[in-house]
Structures are given as C-alpha cells and as structure tokens.
Amino acid sequence: MVSQNVVVSDAKTGIITVSTVSNSSVFTPSAQKPPTAPGYISVSKKKLLKNLEINGAQSQRLNSWVDSMRASSPTHLKSLSSLSSEEELNSWIKRHPSALDMFERIIEASRGKQIVMFLDYDGTLSPIVDDPDRAFISSKMRRTVKKVAKCFPTSIVTGRCIDKVYSFVKLAELYYAGSHGMDIKGPTKGFSRYNKDKPSVLYQPAGDFLPMIDEVFKQLVDKTKSTAGAKVENNKFCLSVHFRCVDEKKWSELALKVRSVVKNYPTLKLSQGRKVFEIRPMVKWDKGKALEFLLESLGFENRDDVFPVYIGDDRTDEDAFKLLQERGQGFGILVSKFPKDTNASYSLQDPPEVMEFLRRLVEWKKFSNER
C-alpha cells in the first residue's frame, strides 16, 4: 500500500499543497526528470475526482481552492472591501502608507546609501489585461524606467520568461530575472556601468527542469483547450495557466484539469497568483532569492550602505518583501488598490502611481547631483 496526493489550498497564501491517502496506483510521466521527492506519487484523474466528489472533507478542500481563486479576483476584492469598515481600511493604510505621501521619509532613510531598484512587470509597470500577450508597457513608462536605470542599478523581476518581458520593455541596460527569478541575465555589454565584464547569463538554478517544463506545457495546452478563455504560457523555467477570461462557473473544472496534469510531476509545485496558476520546479529559489543574488552580483553583499527598493503587486513578490524586512535594509512597495496581507512597508495603487514614484526618484537624484 502506498500514498497518493490530493490537493489542499491555502486561500490566504495561494500555495497549493498535498495531503496523502492510501492508494496503489502509480503513473510515471514519459519525460526524464529530477529524482522524485519523498512521499509524492501520481494518481489517476478518475480516482482523484472520485475522492473529491465523494469525500466531504476533500470536497471542502476543493472549495477552498476555488475560494482562493475568487480571492485573487479584483472584482471580488472590490466587493469585499466595500463591506469593510472605514476604520479597517484606515488601519491598513496606516500600516502600509502611500509611498508618494511618505516620499520625503523614504529619501531621508536612503541618504548616504546606494539605492538599487527591483521592479515587477505585470500590474506594476504595465496594467493587468485580459490577454497576457498584450500587457504592453507605455512609452512614457519605458522612458521613466530608462531614466531610473541611469541613476540606479535596476532589475525587472517577473514570472514571465526573459524573452517575453524584454520584447515589452526593450531596455538593454537593465538586469532581468525571469521565471520568478530562475533565469537571471545582466545588461547587454556596453549598456550599463554595473555589469562590466560579467557574462550576460548570470544564473539558472532550474536548468535541469527544461525538458519536463516543455512536456507539461504541451499536456496543459491539450488538457485546457476545451475551457474557453484559458491560456497556458510557457515562461521557460515555469508555466502559467491564466483564467482571467474563464467563466467563474468553470473555475473548479479548470482547477481539476490543471491538477490532473501537475500531480504526475512531484518535483513541480502548483501555486496561485492574480487569476493565474503558476507551475514551478521545487527548487529553493524565488523572487527573494533572486533579489539577494542580484545584490551579490552587483557587489552589495554584506554592505550597510545599500538601499534596495522592490515594487510589485503579486503574491510571488512577497518573498522579496519578506527578505528586505528580514535584512532590515530598504523596503518593499505593494501595488494594490485594496487592502492585502503583505510584508511590504508602503503601497502604491497602480502603475501610474508607480511611474510617479519613479519620476520623483529620478528628479531627487538629479537635484542631489547638482548640489
């Protein structure tokens, strides 16, 4: 008798984990993959569906998963926030005040230190849109980021693959950390004073997973093609299944389809962001680790005169916010119009506010250089 995995979702964190129940069915995917993690095996979709439908406790777990999907919806967040008392909203704002309102305090804290900028892409530099292939950055935002990069070492840290986000941003002087930090590249030589003679490809901690990621991508495309509005995106070292355009009545069905594929790959983990499922290798690497690696690559490890600033809007950015909090250096800025649990120190409502904050940083730097 062996153990099988069934889905358990934490609506607060969005992390989808597994519980074990007794079963003897084992399925092995065809792609060669890294060693199987202890305690993880595969089960049939039929058996999983039966367990979820018949067992009341497990049905509640599926409901928890769907509740988590609803919680990632701005529409639901808006309706929930409207029910919150003004006192609760004010309390959140006091704990995470606007970075624009607190700009002078932020500048004061950074005096005598090297500011290093880290920026998420979707929902931070570009608006969240229905079609992820059309999440274009505005020309004005691009010019602003270019100016920021002239003043401070600047990185984009995103769940997207580097090629995709670079096709949007088109700035060779930036550092790019794609696939949630699992693919890190430096600026093109000659475009930045910070990379000097370092190789353009800095780090790829999940390189061995590429064949598996490609295979799972094909399976997810096939499995979800009957779900109207679902879109699977290959981010090289991780995958995204977008359900922003999927009818809410089909969310539980889509969740089971995604899980029916991922369950056969115990070295991959399934989590959830803003109306998107994320499939990533089980390696000890995230946006926080990427931030730390980039600071070291820039020569700022074990230095007290560095001031990292990370701006992002997604659950995956919380790893970076938490790291800065633990280091006691710099701060994180959450981009959100609604109260959320976060490790960020400050908040901004949307990409236009992000652009205004970046513009002020550039103006302050220019003024400081002229003095």
Per-residue pLDDT of 290-311, as tens digits, reads: 999 999 999 898 899 999 999 9
Helix 351-370 to helix 103-110 angle (10° resolution) is 50
Q: What is the pLDDT of residues 151-160, one digit of tens each?
A: 999 999 999 9
Please state the rounded mean pLDDT for residues 224-242: 96
What are the DSSP E strand ranges found in the chain? 2-9, 15-23, 114-119, 154-157, 175-178, 183-185, 201-203, 231-234, 239-242, 268-273, 276-281, 306-312, 331-335, 346-348
* Span 131-168, pLDDT tens digits: 999 999 999 999 999 999 999 999 999 999 999 999 99
pLDDT of residue 23: 39
Three-class SS string for 303-368? CCCEEEEEEECCHHHHHHHHHHHHHCCCEEEEECCCCCCCCCCEEECCHHHHHHHHHHHHHHHHHH
Whole-prediction pTM: 0.77
Mean pLDDT on 93-110: 96
Kindly give the pairing relationship between strand 306-312 and strand 175-178: unpaired
Return the pLDDT at 365: 94
Give dist(CA 26, CA 36) in Å, integer. Answer: 13
CA distance 296 to 330: 15
**Residues 322-367: pLDDT tens digits?**
999 999 999 999 999 889 899 999 999 999 999 999 999 999 999 8
Task: For 242-266, write each residue's pLDDT tens digit.
Answer: 999 999 999 999 999 999 999 999 9
359 neighbors 144 (Cβ within 8 angstroms) = yes
Q: How far is CA 279 from the centre of its chain?
A: 11
Average pLDDT over residues 185-211: 76
Domains and CATH numbers, the chain: 3-71 (no CATH), 86-205+285-370 (3.40.50.1000)
**Mean pLDDT comparison of 1-5, 53-57, 69-73, highest-scoring range:** 69-73
Given the DSSP bridges, would you call strands 114-119 and 306-312 parallel, antiparallel or unpaired?
parallel
**Section 190-196 average pLDDT:** 58
